[in-house]
Structure 1
Amino acid sequence: MRTILSLSSWPLVFFSGLLCTYLAFASERPMFGFALVYAGEVLLLFLLERYIPYERRWLLSDGEMANDIAHTLLTKGLVQLVALSGAVFPMFTAIVLLPLTGAQLDVWPTTLPMPLQVVLGVLIAEFGLYWSHRIAHERLFFWRFHALHHSVTRLWVINTGRFHIADSLFKVALSQLPLFLLGAPLPVFLWLGAVTAFMGILTHCNVDMKTGFFDYIFSTPRLHRWHHSKDIREGNTNYGENVVFFDLLFGTYFNPGRPSSTDIGIRGQIAKSFLGQLAQPFRKDGIRQILGRSTKSG
């Protein structure tokens, strides 16, 4: 049974999530329906983490659960205009901002079947997500915010939304604005939100999933564990949020033939409290702490 679950859990969670989302979007209350689907998928992964964990020591508390939940519900929620979950930004911004956008080019291929429009939307948004993520690793100014996400010493479904508000804003700007300007319709944003939501909880879950050929298409837990490695040669890879197309294109794809790293985290230190974590990147001594440098010298 464990072997069967290990082989089937990734496509089970992802594709069942998309199917249930289709039903939710067709209902009279699509947002509420999606929220229920998302909560159900989180619960399913939470249970799988306890039955077939990738790393058993990651089941132990790291003392950051309250902060992880706060960042998901509050920090990311502020950016994404909803306190329900940090995973549904495109849905709400589409509803709130799309009618107000007057600078659209109106060149979106609306005559294409919706599945193809969604694929196109995911790829366009992914280009911005890839580069915002890569820049956040390769430029210290942006890393001081992104380091919060990488400061975790275990990966599990609950710390999926552990992002600094400035980090989230940067990703939003590079990934969402092109879709707005091109005139993408509301359903594209709805489906982009769903795909990104499910990919987020899957890449961070502590489940022993055998993803095989999916590793060459999607961002999978195996690839994302390498991305969280303390070894910078391993960690500065696999930037894709949903798909790995741009990692393959720009040479940052990393998938060696051995179990992915469990030695994760950063060299520096992150503040212990939620508010302290938000303020830390704006203080000189806080930046030095994040970078792992002594705070005694100027």
Structure 2
Amino acid sequence: MSDSTLPAAASSRLRNTISWLAWPGLLAISIAIMAYGFTVAMPALFFNIAYLLLALCLYGLEQVMPHERVWNENDGQTFANIAHTLTSKGVVQAAVVFSTVIGISSYVTPAAEPGYGIWPRSWPMWSQVLLAIAVAEFGLYWGHRLAHEWPWLWRFHAVHHSVTRLWIVNTGRFHFVDSFKSIALGMVILLALGAPMEVLIWLSAITAFIGILTHCNIDMKFGPLSWWFNTPELHRWHHSKDLREGNKNYSENIMLWDHVFGTFYNARDYRPPVDIGIQEEMPPGFLQQLAWPFRRRS
């Protein structure tokens, strides 16, 4: 082997190693930072730190080892993506999850008391969080699935699916009505069961971490992870224009309910489509996109 091929071989091995370790490694680091935030009683601060670090790492990897190079090209939607994120994931999630839910718990007295409901508060926190992910996923799954199957809900969800490339900046591109629906369906079940606020915060954080990982444009390998978790490999199929592929993989975090209800899809012998989006025509402007679901159609 010549001297010139040695660096190329080493670079290829490094890239392959990163492609296998990036998804589980970055998720584990983000969760560890969040856990430290709870130990110092500052979960909100350390969530923001973890999310920012995760976003920076993913953006860097998107530049050097993209899954689809064409998805790194400007589509003119960066401002709209950020604006949707701020109005939807920023305002709605922060206000509803961290403020409104806490407020509801204080007014609905039983929900704030340790003895309320059937939630296993005596379990270790890690096991409560795992249970919360599985339970909340039922509401998230059906909220997502109905957004594809009910035309009046699809109008709002189509704003997210109208993207023609996947990358971290359109992770939060959701119409605020769509976000309200998803948050409500995921959290109400846990509140009704009497889950404590720490569990709800953990669920919100993990959903945010997996969400940005799911939409990243990075050449990653997953193996059996895609059987259990919502990985980019699965979510790329979900954004297909072919509804035989697109109306699959509705889960947000774990694929439990897709397996149960027969909507899991991963064609390992084929590459997910590069040409993604919707059949309808979505206006390019942010304000136009907010108004688009409310317009009358024939």
- TM-score normalised according to structure 1 size: 0.90
Say yes or no: does 1:242 pair with 2:253: yes
2:286 is aligned to 274
2:229 is aligned to 218
Matches within 5 A, 1:165-176: 165-176=176-187
**Cα pair 2:97 2:183 within 8 Å, conserved:** no
Given the superposition, is the C-alpha separation of residues 46 and 249 from structure 1 closer, same or farther in structure 2, using an over 3 Å criterion? same
**Cα pair 2:87 2:176 within 8 Å, conserved:** no
Say yes or no: does 1:40 pair with 2:32: no
Partners of 2:186 and 2:32 in 1: how far apart?
25
CA drift of 1:29 comes to 2.6
Q: Which secondary structure state, in structure 1, belongs to the residue aligned with residue 224 of structure 2?
A: helix
**Cα pair 1:200 1:241 within 8 Å, conserved:** yes
Deviations 1:252-276 (A, max 9, x none): 0001122222221001111221111
Partners of 2:153 and 2:63 in 1: how far apart?
35
The amino acid that maps onto 1:40 is: L
Partners of 2:75 and 2:39 in 1: how far apart?
40
Partners of 2:51 and 2:88 in 1: how far apart?
19
- Cα RMSD (Å) of the superposition? 1.5
Which of 147, 170, 174 is the equivalent residue of 1:159?
170
CA drift of 1:92 comes to 4.3
Q: Which runs of 5+ in 2 are unaligned?
A: 1-13
Partners of 1:275 and 1:137 in 2: how far apart?
23
CA drift of 1:113 comes to 1.2
The amino acid that maps onto 1:208 is: D
Say yes or no: does 1:49 pair with 2:68: no
The amino acid that maps onto 1:98 is: S
Q: Which runs of 5+ in 1 are unaligned?
A: 83-88, 289-297
The amino acid that maps onto 2:209 is: F
Aligned residues: 280
**Cα pair 1:152 1:264 within 8 Å, conserved:** yes
Deviations 1:53-106 (A, max 9, x none): 000010011000001001111233332245xxxxxx644444443223346352
**Cα pair 1:90 1:192 within 8 Å, conserved:** no
- TM-score normalised according to structure 2 size: 0.90
Say yes or no: does 1:188 pair with 2:199: yes
Deviations 1:16-67 (A, max 9, x none): 1111111122224321121011111011000010111000010011000001
Partners of 1:73 and 1:145 in 2: how far apart?
16
Q: Which secondary structure state, in structure 1, belongs to the residue aligned with residue 123 of structure 2?
A: coil
**Cα pair 1:80 1:93 within 8 Å, conserved:** no
Partners of 1:139 and 1:180 in 2: how far apart?
26
